Amino acid sequence: MLADEDDGFQIAETLVVEEKEEESEACKKVREYLSKRYEIHLTDTRIIRGTLNCTDKDANMLFYESDERWPEGETRWLGQAMIAKKHVIAMYEIKPAQETSI
What's the burial of 61, exposed, middle or buried (CB within 10 Å: 0-12/13-18/19+)?
Answer: buried
Cα four-point dihedral sign 18, 24, 25, 30: negative
pLDDT, block means (10 residues), the chain with 102 residues: 52 60 84 94 96 92 96 90 96 88 74
Structure confidence at residue 26 (pLDDT): 84
Structure confidence at residue 1 (pLDDT): 45
User: What are the structural domains, with CATH classification, of the chain?
Assistant: 26-93 (2.30.30.100)
